[in-house]
A and B are shown apart, each in its own frame.
Chain A
Amino acid sequence: EPEVTQTPSHQVTQMGQEVILRCVPISNHLYFYWYRQILGQKVEFLVSFYNNEISEKSEIFDDQFSVERPDGSNFTLKIRSTKLEDSAMYFCASRTSGRETQYFGPGTRLLVL
């Protein structure tokens, strides 16, 4: 069964460094999402992406964040200058159409020191 994959599974970085989290959505999916989950808290929406552009972003998704679909398969989340509070699990999700179920990847656990 096709699934969303994410790399790396874990990343440790120093505050102020740039990180790129990578996702490979399910191949025939058209809508892509990033979420984050701070330890012990609820999953929070970051951004949705469709037709090669951001369709919606939350207040969390400030100028330090960017997303890109550099080729036909990868979907990346870049954090330009990480802060301690960026430490969280980051989930990528994708779906075929706007009304269908989103399939989540296994997540990347980011730790900013």
Chain B
Amino acid sequence: KNQVEQSPQSLIILEGKNCTLQCNYTVSPFSNLRWYKQDTGRGPVSLTIMTFSENTKSNGRYTATLDADTKQSSLHITASQLSDSASYICVVSASRRGSTLGRLYFGRGTQLTVWP
């Protein structure tokens, strides 16, 4: 069964601190993995996307890693800001034979709260 599991479920950190969010998946066949940021009541916004051959990708203060062998990914946020408070969702795309269409499987997200 295709699943995406994230941990921790929620996290509270102080402004300026770093944090790491985890994602484990069982989606197969794997196409790519994305991290999205979702503010309350808004649609998800893409932060990073990684394919099978990529093991790290950065976007400003966000750095995502991927271990395709162990089917694990992490999102590291450095020097957190109050505006980082949001849900961070790991999304894995499954490829389809003979098609470029990929179905997305979403994790439940990690709710990050940054306190001043």
> A98 contacts the other chain (Cβ, under 8 Å)?
yes
> A25 contacts the other chain (Cβ, under 8 Å)?
no
A4, A33, A55, A102 — which one has the most chain B CB atoms within 10 A of its CB?
Answer: A102
User: Which residues 54-113 of A have a CB within 8 angstroms of B?
Assistant: 55-56, 89, 91, 93, 97-99, 101-107, 109
Question: Bound complex: CA of A31 vs CA of B107, how far in Å?
Answer: 22
> Chain B interface (Cβ within 8 Å of chain A)?
31-32, 34, 36, 41-46, 49, 89, 99-109
**Contact (Cβ within 8 A) A107 B41:** yes
Q: Which of B43, B99, B109 contacts A107 (CB 8 A)?
A: B43
**Contact (Cβ within 8 A) B108 A99:** no
Question: Known contacts A43-B89, A99-B32, A101-B49: does B43 contact A55 (CB below 8 Å)?
Answer: no
**Contact (Cβ within 8 A) A109 B41:** yes
**Contact (Cβ within 8 A) A48 B100:** no
**Contact (Cβ within 8 A) A106 B43:** yes
Interface size class of A (residues with CB under 8 A): 20 to 34
Q: Could you tell me the dominant secondary structure of chain B's interface residues?
A: strand
**Contact (Cβ within 8 A) B104 A41:** no
Question: Known contacts A42-B107, A42-B108, A101-B34: does B101 contact A31 (CB below 8 Å)?
Answer: yes
> A44 contacts the other chain (Cβ, under 8 Å)?
yes
When distances are taken between beta carbons in the complex, the residues of chain B under 8 Å from A101 are: 34, 46, 49
The smallest C-beta distance from B48 to any residue of chain A, in angstroms, reads: 10
Question: Bound complex: CA of A26 vs CA of B107, how far in Å?
Answer: 25
Q: Offer 30 A-B interface pairs, CB within 8 angstroms, sorted by A.
A: A4-B43, A31-B101, A33-B104, A41-B108, A42-B108, A43-B44, A44-B106, A45-B103, A45-B104, A45-B106, A48-B101, A48-B103, A50-B101, A55-B101, A56-B101, A91-B44, A97-B100, A98-B99, A98-B100, A99-B31, A99-B32, A99-B100, A99-B102, A101-B46, A102-B46, A102-B104, A104-B36, A104-B44, A104-B45, A106-B42
